[in-house]
Amino acid sequence: MVKITYVTHEGTEKEVDVAVGLSIMEGAIHNGVDGIEAVCNGNCYCGTCRIYVAQGWLDKLTPAAEEELAMIEAAGEEDPNARLACQIPVTEALDGIRVTTPEFQK
């Protein structure tokens, strides 16, 4: 299990244990984390699983594929730490990662 801390835009934190192999989105859904809707259930076409990855963790993530980058760009997102949580597999290297959810995702 890997510890992931999900932080709302208001600063409320929830640390949960997530199994390796799930996505960061699935870790949120399985643990009742607010702020990640995942309307398309991880198929990379809704963009409602957007997160901002804490500084220092980006290089530990699986790089974003063209499909993910296109979704983020189409949403007008400019934060370089923005990713889609459904496209990030949880690995042991992510133990302790912190991600923040945007205000528009409740």
In the complex, which residues of this chain contact ligand FES (CB under 6 A)? 25, 38-40, 42-49, 84, 86
State the minimum distance, in angstroms, from the CB of residue 31 to ligand FES: 16
Give Cα 7 distance to the centre of its chain: 11
Nearer to ligand FES, 11 or 88 (CB): 88
Question: Is 83 exposed, middle or buried (CB count within 10 Å of its CB: 0-12, 13-18, 19+)?
Answer: buried
> Does residue 46 contact residue 38 with C-beta atoms inside 8 Å?
yes
State the minimum distance, in angstroms, from the CB of residue 48 to ligand FES: 6
Nearer to ligand FES, 11 or 72 (CB): 72
> Does residue 31 contact residue 18 with C-beta atoms inside 8 Å?
yes
Nearer to ligand FES, 51 or 97 (CB): 51
State the minimum distance, in angstroms, from the CB of residue 41 to ligand FES: 6
CA dist 106 and 102 (Å) reads 8
